[in-house]
Structure 1
Amino acid sequence: MLKHFVILLLILGTIAQQKKKKDLTSYTDADLERLYDEWEENDEDELEEDELPEHKRPQKKLDLESMKAQAKNPEELLMMSKKGQTLMMFVNVVDTSQPTKRDIRPFTEKWTSLWQSQLFNNHVDIQVFVIDDNRAIFMFKDGSQAMEAKTFLLKQEYVSEVSIEGQIFKGPANPKSEL
């Protein structure tokens, strides 16, 4: 990383002298971004596939027929098709001691944070964003981990609903739940 920074500074200095004799401290963000793009184009070292941004990674061909043959159920098929892709799961939370109360943001933040750490301890890498007083988004960098998290979340007493890819699963806190 230090090597790249030194090279960037050398390039900045050379370009500054060649073009407009512009002072290095007067470079704008746009100048630096342009310089960085130019540097990346001329960089000999190619990034590993997993280091590339998701939109620049080569798309893997999904062989749906072989996946269907390997999958034992629709959830396994979803896990296989979402491997390595970002996936979002919506989770609704209810305080069972006050089921009609809707202004429960601190409660939701507390429990979703706790679930995130419990899942992380089980090697499920997620980010959690509370988007409403009783609703959160769980974002998975590897969508194949979503089913494991769904199974865990549906056992939590304050989860009323989990939604993945348009499928809705009722949790223990859902009054219409048949658990």
Structure 2
Amino acid sequence: MKFNSSLVTLFLIISAFLICDSFQATKKPKKNIADMTDAEIDKIAEEWDKDEEELPDDEKPFHERKNTGQNIDVQEFLKNSKNAAESVKAFNKKNKPLMIFVEIRKSLSKLEAEDASKIWSTALFNAHYEVNRYMIDDHQAIFMVNDGSKAWEIKDYLVQQKDCLQVTIDQEKYPGLHIQKSEL
């Protein structure tokens, strides 16, 4: 029995067409994203993200970071600290964002006050403190730190500056060292 090559080719083309057609018949039609429910969108997002590598803990948003907890010897911790109260506060704010409010001497103009806070921010950056500075008033700035445990070290620097009136951390006020009582 001889087979004609054109007949075999025709048979293969028809078979391939029928197989493709059956696959397309079982395939679900695409749904418009506007018609999808929240659950369907979440499922698609999970499928999309399942093959991606997990971000390192320091690159995740703060609310998604793992709280590893730290084992600490309290007696040793308090013995090695200069100011036990500040050390405990700093420990409690570790890896949490914190705002430091800084009041600048009122005798400075708005531009001079902004320049002074910019210089302080740059000096802190050069000392490897991650600080974001925002002027909220003519003579008041916020220094935002991502690791709140560093706030008291930053406060120690800021209160030594000649144009710093006071620093406020967690509603506790620390007066500047070069300020007279009449200026407060």
TM range (shorter): 0.5 to 0.7
**Residue 15 (structure 2) aligns with:** none
Structure 2: gaps (5+ residues):
1-28, 34-40
Which amino acid in structure 2 is aligned with residue 154 of structure 1?
V
CA distance in 1, matches of 2:145, 2:55: 22
Q: Is the 8 Å Cα contact of residues 79 and 145 (structure 1) preserved in structure 2?
A: yes
How has the CA–CA distance of structure 1 residues 36 and 159 changed in structure 2, closer, same or farther, with 3 Å as cutoff?
farther
**Residue 117 (structure 2) aligns with:** 112
Shift of 1:54: 0.4
Structure number with bigger Rg: 2
User: Would you say 1:50 and 2:58 are equivalent positions?
Assistant: yes
- 1:176 aligns with one of 172, 178, 181: 181
User: Would you say 1:122 and 2:134 are equivalent positions?
Assistant: no
Q: Is the 8 Å Cα contact of residues 108 and 130 (structure 1) preserved in structure 2?
A: no
Shift of 1:78: 1.7
**Residue 89 (structure 1) aligns with:** 100
1:93-172 correspondence runs (5 A): 93-95=104-106, 98=107, 104-172=109-177
Q: Secondary structure at the match of 1:168?
A: strand
Shift of 1:69: 5.2
Q: Is the 8 Å Cα contact of residues 91 and 161 (structure 1) preserved in structure 2?
A: yes
Shift of 1:175: 3.0
Q: Is the 8 Å Cα contact of residues 162 and 179 (structure 2) preserved in structure 1?
A: no
How has the CA–CA distance of structure 1 residues 158 and 68 changed in structure 2, closer, same or farther, with 3 Å as cutoff?
farther
Q: Secondary structure at the match of 1:45?
A: coil
| 1:86-108 Cα deviation digits (max 9, x unpaired) | 1111000005xx37xxxx32122
TM-score, length of structure 2 as denominator length: 0.66
CA distance in 1, matches of 2:103, 2:55: 39
Q: Secondary structure at the match of 1:58?
A: coil
Q: Secondary structure at the match of 2:135?
A: strand
**Residue 20 (structure 2) aligns with:** none
- 1:77 aligns with one of 81, 88, 97: 88
Q: Is the 8 Å Cα contact of residues 121 and 133 (structure 2) preserved in structure 1?
A: yes
CA distance in 2, matches of 1:41, 1:137: 37
CA distance in 2, matches of 1:110, 1:141: 23
Q: Percent identity?
A: 31
